[in-house]
Amino acid sequence: MAETKKLAAAVRSGTGKGAARSVRREGRIPAVLYGGGEAPQPLSLDKKNVTHLIFSGHFLTTIFELDINGKKERAIPRDYQLDVVKDTPIHVDFLRLKPGSRLRVNVPVHFINQEAAPGIKRGGALNIVYHTVEMWVPADNIPEAITADLTGMDFNDSLHISAIPLPEGCRPTNPDKDFTVASLSPPAGGGVEEEAPAATAAPAAAPAKAAAPAKDEKKK
């Protein structure tokens, strides 16, 4: 389950590019909190803090308790923008989370037990079709990842979504109910095969019998 983190935010006045530039000149990042049946709320965030959170990973699947001038709001980031030159955050969008709400998120797939897959041990290649799976998940139970077990996979085997345990209340958005997540193909030159037992040597041929000497011709 995704952890909840606290994040301080301040209400900002004005919208548009001019107001956003003014916020950035103050060393802060403009943001917007929307959804939940309420009007969008323009915010500003501490630049250093948000930059650390984004580049630490899992930012878009982390639930935040926003402290907005003393008012608490549960929210999840829906998007963020980076400066194309400096590669630093310049804007963040948050979605309000209400009790019972569901979200569409991309959940990473973690593959385990490669050493227990005969096909991999014999040189096969794991072809990953989905590194992440888009899923509908409860707002209070966002999984950090789902785990795919490769135990027993051999050449030309496929691992389908039905073989991967999913957290309660989570389901893929893919309309194909049992889509392939990964497959295992043999190496181009063929797998490593066990050596065939040496053939039993054929018994030596019996030595040919010496030809019987020809009888002397009768004397005339």
Q: Which helix (H) or strand (E) holds 144?
A: none
pTM here is: 0.69
CATH label, 103-185, candidates 2.170.120.20, 2.160.10.10, 3.30.70.980, 3.90.180.10: 2.170.120.20
**Residue from 73, 99, 87, 81 nearest 10 by CA:** 73
Q: What is the pLDDT of residues 117-167, one digit of tens each?
A: 999 999 999 999 999 999 999 987 888 899 999 999 999 999 999 999 999
Q: Which CATH architecture has domain 4-98?
A: Beta Barrel (2.40)
The pair of structure tokens assigned to 189 is 């030159």
For residue 107, the cross-strand partners are 133
Residues in the chain, overall count: 220
**What is the arithmetic mean of pLDDT over 157-178?**
95
